[in-house]
Amino acid sequence: MTGTRTDPGTPSSSSPPAPRPARPVAKRRVGRRTRTVLRYALLLLIMAISVGPFLWQLSTALKGIGEDIYASPPRFVPADPTLGNFVRVGEVLPVWGYVWNSVRVALATVVLNVVGASLAGYALARLRFRGRRAALGVFILALLVPGEAIMVAQFLMMRSVHLNDTLVAVVLPGMVGALNVLLMYNAFLAQSTQIDEAAMIDGANAWQRFTRVALPSVKGTIAVVAIFAFMGAWDDFLWPLIVLSDPDYYTLTIGLNYLKGTFVGDQRLIAAGTIIAVAPLILLFLTLQRYFFRGVNEGAIKG
C-alpha cells in the first residue's frame, strides 16, 4: 500500500488559515472611552446651556438683600438662602391674582384644545365625508399664517362682540390649535382599521368608537397636546397685552413685566417672579412626562 508523501514546505489543506492582524485591544478600548467622554461632554454642555440660566435665576431669587449678586467670581450657591424675595414680590404686586388669571386661561385652553383637537382629528382620520381633504388642507395652511398677522382682525372681532378686556377674549383665539389637530389626526390615522371594523360589527356607533376604542389608545398624544396648549397659553404675552386693559384681568406674563419698571436695580425680585412663572410648567411636565414620551404614533393593537 503506497502512501502519499507531503512536502514539508507545503501547508496542509486541513491546517487553519493564517489569522488576520487584529486591531490591538488597548487601542479599541481607548477609542471607545474617547467616544464616551465626548458624548457625555456634549450632553453636559447642552444641559448647562438649557438648564443653567434657570438654575442661576433660582440662585439669585434665593439670595438675601445683604448678599452681593454681582460678586466676582460669582457664587452659585447662596450663603444664606431665603424665600423673602418671593414674599416681597407678592407684597408689591398682586402676583397671586395674576397667577390665578393665568391658571384659568391655561386650564380653559387645555380643555378646549384636548376636546376640540381630539374630535377634529378623529373626524379627519376615521370618518368619511365630503370636503374632508379640503378641511385637512385648511389646518395645514393655518400653520403657515403667523399669529401676529391676524391679531388686528382678532382684536376687532372681539371688540365687535364686546368681549375685549375679558379673559374669554384671551382664550378664544387659541381654543383649538391647528398643530394640535394635526397631531391628533396623525395619532388616530396610525391606528389599525381592524379595530374600527370589529367595533362596527359589534354595533358601536361613531361616538362609541371614538370614546371607547380610539381615545384611550392615544393618551401620549393627548399629553403632548395638553402640554403644548398649556405652555402656549401660560407664556403668551402679546395677545393678552393687546386685548386686556383692566389690571384685574392681567395674566402673569403681563403683570411680571411691571417688575422691571418698579425695581430696576433689584434683580432678586425679577428672578423670583421668573421662578413663579416657570414653576407651573415644570410641574405640568413632570406630571405628564410618562405619557409625553410615548410619542404621537400610538397603535391600538396591544399584543
The secondary structure of 256-283 as a DSSP string is HTTHHHH-SS-HHHHHHHHHHHHHHHHH
Q: In this predicted model, which residue has the larger pLDDT, 9 or 35?
A: 35
Least confident of 125-129, 137-141, 196-200, 278-282: 196-200
Confidence of residue 298 (pLDDT cuts 50, 70, 90): low
- Please give the average per-residue pLDDT across 1-8, as a whole number: 50
Name the CA dihedral angle for 36, 37, 38, 41, rounded to a multiple of 10 degrees.
Answer: 120
For every residue of 149-192, DSSP letters joined together read GGHHHHHHHHHHTT-TTSHHHHHGGGSS-HHHHHHHHHHHHTS-
Q: How far is CA 294 from CA 113, 125, 298, in A?
A: 19, 20, 7
pLDDT of res. 295: 57
CA 227 – CA 288 distance, rounded (Å): 8
pLDDT of res. 263: 47
Closest by CA to 177, choosing from 219, 128, 226, is 226
Q: What percent of the chain has pLDDT over 90?
A: 28
Pull the grid cell for residue 70: 454681582
CA 68 – CA 89 distance, rounded (Å): 19
Residue 300 above 50 pLDDT? no
Q: pLDDT per residue over 243-255, tens digit each?
A: 998 888 999 989 8
pLDDT of res. 195: 81
Confidence of residue 166 (pLDDT cuts 50, 70, 90): very high
Longest dimension (CA), the chain: 118
Report the alpha-carbon angle 290-182-296, nearest 5.
25
Query: What value does the CA radius of gyration of the chain take, rounded to a whole number of Å?
Result: 30
Residue 270 above 60 pLDDT? yes
Number of Cα atoms under 13 Å in the Cβ half of residue 217: 22
Residue 157 above 70 pLDDT? yes
Pull the grid cell for residue 227: 402640554
Closest by CA to 77, choosing from 101, 104, 55, is 55
Confidence of residue 303 (pLDDT cuts 50, 70, 90): very low
Residue 120 above 70 pLDDT? yes
Residue 64 above 70 pLDDT? yes
CA 240 – CA 167 distance, rounded (Å): 8
**Residue 214 CB: number of other CB atoms within 10 A?**
23
Specify the CATH number of the domain 95-292.
1.10.3720.10
Confidence of residue 215 (pLDDT cuts 50, 70, 90): confident
Mean of per-residue pLDDT scores for the chain: 82
CA 177 – CA 98 distance, rounded (Å): 24
* 136 contacts 124 by C-beta, under 8 angstroms: yes
Least confident of 4-13, 95-104, 111-120, 237-246: 4-13
Helices 219-235 and 178-189 sit at what angle, rounded to 10 degrees? 170
* 291 contacts 220 by C-beta, under 8 angstroms: yes
CA 20 – CA 133 distance, rounded (Å): 61
Residues near 171 by beta carbon (within 8 Å), at least 6 away in sequence: 105, 108, 109, 112, 233
Residue 113 above 90 pLDDT? yes
pLDDT of res. 105: 95
Give me the residue label for grid cell 430696576. Answer: 264
Pull the grid cell for residue 149: 398677522
Q: Is residue 295 left, alpha or beta, with left meaning phi > 0 and alpha meaning psi from -120 to 50? A: left
pLDDT of res. 5: 52
**E strands present in the chain:** none
Domain boundaries, the chain: 28-82, 95-292
Residue 208 above 80 pLDDT? yes
Closest by CA to 106, choosing from 277, 300, 286, 288, is 277
